[in-house]
C-alpha cells in the first residue's frame, strides 16, 4: 500500500476545503488526479507530503501513519515531488546539474558534498530526461519545459517510492507538452518506476499508463477507479455539469463541449 486516506477532511476558518476524502493507492498503480482549478488537488498533495495536517481522518503514506510512526523528513525522502511551489524555490544561480544533485539530499540548493556515485546518478538522470545539452546552464535561463525535466530528474535522485507531478505541463506549448508527456510515459513504463500521481486539469494529458483516475470536485471525491470508467462522456458530463463528449484516439481521451439538452441527473 502506497497511500491510504480515510475520511480525510480539512477545515480553514469556517470552511471545509476538503471533505471526506477516501483514496487508496496500491504499489505499481499510476494515478491521474483530475479536477478544475481550485478543486483541492494541491491541498491533497500537501497532506500526503505532510506539509499540512488533516482536521479529521486518517492518512497513511508508504506505511507511515501520520501522527504515529510518522516522520516528515523520512517520509519526504521517499516522495519525489514536482510542483510550481518547488520550482519557485530553486536557487536561480544553480545550474541544472546542481539542481538535480540537490535531490539526493531532498534539499533546495546544495549544502553537502555529493559523492561520486551521486554525480554519476545525476548525469544518467539528466540523460534519461533529455537534459544533457543544458546540464551546465543556470536554472533561471532554462525554458519552462526544460525546467520541468530538470525538476523531474531532481525528484528521481532520491529513488522515491512515490513520484508526484503537480500540473507539470503548465505553461508549455503543444510540442513541449507532448514531449514532456512522452518522457513521463517512458518513465512510468519502466519496471522499477516509482508509483506515480499525475495531477492535471486537462483530460487530454491522461496517458495510457495512468490507468486509475480520481475525479476531484469542490474538495470532494466525485468518483475514482479505472480511468476508462472515469473518463467517458457520461461521467464527465456530470462531473463538469456541462454536456461534453470524450473521444479516444491512440489510447488518449480528448474532450469536446457539445450542444445538447439538459444533463440527465
Ligand atoms: N489556507 C487556506 N485557507 C483557505 N482556503 C484555502 C487555503 N489553501 C487553499 N485554499 C482554497 O482551497 C481551494 C483548493 O485549492 P488548491 O488545492 O490549490 O486547488 P487546485 O490545486 O485543485 O487548483 C481553493 O479554493 C483555495 O482558495
Ligand atoms: Mg494546484
217 CA from centroid of ligand 2 (Å): 13
CA distance 75 to 61: 8
Contact of 168 with 152, CB cutoff 8 Å? yes
**Parallel, antiparallel, or unpaired: how do β-strands 252-257 and 212-217 relate?**
unpaired
Nearest CA to ligand 1 atom 3: 12
Contact of 169 with 205, CB cutoff 8 Å? yes
Length of the chain: 265
Give per-residue pLDDT as tens, 136-190. Answer: 999 999 999 999 999 999 999 999 999 999 999 999 999 999 999 999 999 999 9
142, three cell numbers: 532554462
Contact of 32 with 227, CB cutoff 8 Å? yes
Over residues 25-42, mean pLDDT: 97
168 CA from centroid of ligand 2 (Å): 10
C-beta of 83 in contact with ligand 1 (< 6 A): no
**Of all atoms in ligand 1, which is nearest to the CA of residue 17?**
12
C-beta of 41 in contact with ligand 1 (< 6 A): yes
Q: Is the pLDDT of residue 262 over 70?
A: no
Give per-residue pLDDT as tens, 39-78. Answer: 999 999 999 998 899 999 999 999 888 766 657 888 888 9
C-beta of 37 in contact with ligand 1 (< 6 A): yes
Contact of 111 with 120, CB cutoff 8 Å? no
Phi, psi of 218 (to 5 degrees): 45, 50
**What is the helix (H) or strand (E) element at residue 148, kind and residue range?**
helix 144-156
| Mean pLDDT across the chain | 93
> Residue with C-alpha cell 508508504?
62
**For residue 33, how far is the Cα from the chain centroid?**
8
Please state which of the ranges 45-54, 211-220, 247-256 shows the lowest mean pLDDT.
45-54
**Of all atoms in ligand 1, which is nearest to the CA of residue 40?**
17
DSSP symbols for 61-100: ETTEETTTT--HHHHHHTEEEE-HHHHHHS-TTSBHHHHH
Q: Tell me the β-bridge partners of 249.
A: 252
Nearest CA to ligand 1 atom 14: 40
125 CA from centroid of ligand 1 (Å): 33
C-beta of 43 in contact with ligand 1 (< 6 A): yes
Give per-residue pLDDT as tens, 101-146. Answer: 999 987 788 888 889 999 999 999 999 999 999 999 999 999 999 9
Picking from 5, 15, 91, 106, the residue whose alpha carbon sits closest to that of residue 46 is 5
30, three cell numbers: 499510476
Contact of 75 with 61, CB cutoff 8 Å? yes
Query: What's the pLDDT score for residue 108?
Result: 81
Residues lying with their CB under 5 A of ligand 2, a single-atom ion: 41-42
Phi, psi of 165 (to 5 degrees): -115, 105
**Parallel, antiparallel, or unpaired: how do β-strands 162-166 and 79-82 relate?**
parallel
Sheet holding 3-12, edge to edge: 15-25, 3-12, 56-61, 64-65
**Of all atoms in ligand 1, which is nearest to the CA of residue 41?**
22
Nearest CA to ligand 1 atom 18: 42
Amino acid at each position: 500500500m502506497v497511500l491510504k486516506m480515510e475520511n480525510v477532511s480539512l477545515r480553514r476558518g469556517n470552511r471545509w476545503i476538503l471533505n471526506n476524502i477516501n483514496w487508496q493507492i496500491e504499489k505499481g498503480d499510476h494515478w491521474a488526479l483530475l479536477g478544475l482549478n481550485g478543486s483541492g488537488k494541491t491541498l491533497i498533495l500537501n497532506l500526503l507530503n505532510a506539509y499540512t495536517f488533516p482536521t479529521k481522518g486518517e492518512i497513511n503514506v508508504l506505511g507511515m501513519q501520520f501522527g504515529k510512526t510518522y516522520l516528515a523528513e523520512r517520509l519526504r525522502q521517499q516522495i519525489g515531488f514536482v510542483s510550481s511551489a518547488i520550482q519557485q524555490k530553486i536557487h536561480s544561480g544553480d545550474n541544472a546539474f546542481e539542481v538535480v544533485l540537490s535531490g539526493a539530499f531532498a534539499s533546495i540548493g546544495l549544502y553537502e558534498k555529493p559523492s561520486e556515485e551521486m554525480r554519476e546518478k545525476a548525469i544518467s538522470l539528466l540523460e534519461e530526461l533529455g537534459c544533457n545539452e543544458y546540464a551546465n546552464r543556470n536554472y533561471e535561463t532554462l525554458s519552462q519545459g526544460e525546467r520541468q525535466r530538470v525538476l523531474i530528474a531532481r525528484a528521481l535522485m532520491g529513488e522515491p517510492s512515490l513520484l508526484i507531478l503537480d500540473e507539470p505541463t503548465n505553461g508549455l506549448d503543444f510540442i513541449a507538452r507532448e514531449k514532456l508527456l512522452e518522457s513521463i510515459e517512458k518513465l512510468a513504463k519502466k519496471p522499477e518506476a516509482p508509483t506515480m500521481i499525475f495531477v492535471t486539469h486537462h483530460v487530454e494529458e491522461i496517458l495510457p499508463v495512468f490507468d486509475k483516475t480520481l475525479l476531484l470536485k469542490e474538495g470532494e471525491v466525485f468518483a475514482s477507479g479505472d480511468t476508462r470508467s472515469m473518463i467517458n462522456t457520461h461521467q464527465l458530463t456530470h462531473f463538469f455539469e456541462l454536456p461534453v463528449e470524450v473521444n479516444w484516439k491512440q489510447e488518449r481521451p480528448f474532450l469536446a463541449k457539445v450542444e445538447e439538452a439538459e444533463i440527465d441527473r
